[in-house]
Amino acid sequence: MKKALVIGSLNMDMTVKVEKLPKLGETIFGNEFYESCGGKGANQAVAVAKLGMKTEMIGMVGKDSQGEKLIQNLVDNGVKADNVIKSDELTGRAIITVDKNGDNNIIVIAGSNFKITEKDIQNKVNVIAENDVVILQNEIPLSVVEFCLLKAKELGKITVFNPAPATKLNDRIFHNTDYLILNETEMEEIFEIKISDEGYAEKILHKKEEHGIKNIILTLGEKGCVYFDKNNDINKYEAYKVKAIDTTAAGDSFIGAFAMKICECGDTGEAIKYATAVSAIVVTRQGAQSSIPTKDEIKDFLRKN
């Protein structure tokens, strides 16, 4: 059986629901507040596990109650958490504001996530060797991301990288990434290409060639996604028409579902379609990991759609 490893962040999410996102300097009332387990890495790990693949996570939490909750939550969702390390730094947190349309903004306080080091990963390189696909995001130090991708490729693993939060990346990261998955905000920050630009797709292909990137998947929310493949063909995929109430975990669930399916079947188009269905369900539910569907729920959704 194929197995997935997620190396990345674990955060306690603190979410406020509002009518509209506040303007600069504006004070508004919130309608609802709740805490939930999150972090891009943990969200992606839970997505893979709930969809039926054996999943393991490497990350770091604090020696506090939030850290214990995050580890227990992974276990409760079927993720092996033996290699989540405990640090003296506080557990990471995310402050999330969600408006009535389901749109959000997120502030991440990295905490213990930014204390993980290359040495920590080197000590667990056997864990990378035991898995088939390695999934990474940008809520841990970039030097650690680069090291993980290098080790994963040396061991012949499929690598999936989501550069969020966005920052400038070097070509060593690009060369060791099989699938770079990013949204339009990240595309603009990393490559300085706006989706509203005339000929944006050709500009992306140019950057892809310039940096030696194998595959790029650009997610566009309700507009679907665009896949720039290794042959430089441009493939567009439509999103399912659903009523969104919370988009917080849409990207993470897409990435987890894609990584699981590409590892399972090796067909990128099928993996994208599957991931699109997963994220369509996620946005109709409140919360991050709690919104991620099971394998049976996806089967039912695809049968009806």
Domains held by the chain: number: 1
Collapsing DSSP states into helix, strand and coil, what is residue 88?
coil
42 is in an annotated binding site: yes
Pairing status of strand 32-38 against strand 11-17: antiparallel
Nearest to 136 by CA among 292, 268, 4, 15: 4
Residues recognised as catalytic:
252
Q: Look up the CATH number of the domain holding residue 218.
A: 3.40.1190.20
282 is in an annotated binding site: yes
219 is in an annotated binding site: yes
Residue 130 lies inside a defined structural domain of this protein: yes
Residue 98 lies inside a defined structural domain of this protein: no
**Rounded to two decimals, what is the model's pTM?**
0.92
Residue 203 lies inside a defined structural domain of this protein: yes
What is the pLDDT at residue 123? 97
Residue 256 lies inside a defined structural domain of this protein: yes
What is the pLDDT at residue 245? 86
**Which two three-digit tokens encode residue 92?**
């990471």
* Residue 255 domain boundaries: 3-8+39-85+113-304
What is the pLDDT at residue 214? 98
Dihedral (Cα; 147, 152, 156, 162), 10-degree rounding: -100
DSSP-assigned letters across all residues of 53-78: -EEEEEEEEESSHHHHHHHHHHHHTT
Residue 244 lies inside a defined structural domain of this protein: yes
Residue 17 lies inside a defined structural domain of this protein: no
Residue 252 vs residues 7, 89, 108, 212, 289: alpha-carbon distances, Å: 13, 25, 15, 25, 9
What is the pLDDT at residue 249? 84
30 is in an annotated binding site: no
118 is in an annotated binding site: no
What is the pLDDT at residue 246? 84
| HEC secondary structure over 285-299 | CCCCHHHCCCHHHHH
- pLDDT string in tens for the chain (305-residue length): 899 999 999 999 899 999 999 999 999 999 999 898 999 999 999 999 999 999 999 999 999 999 999 999 999 999 999 999 999 999 999 899 999 888 888 898 999 999 999 999 999 999 999 999 999 999 999 999 999 999 999 999 999 999 999 999 999 999 999 999 999 999 999 999 999 989 999 999 999 999 999 999 999 999 999 999 999 999 999 999 998 888 878 999 999 999 999 999 999 999 999 999 999 999 998 877 888 999 999 999 998 88
Residue 267 lies inside a defined structural domain of this protein: yes
Residue 241 lies inside a defined structural domain of this protein: yes
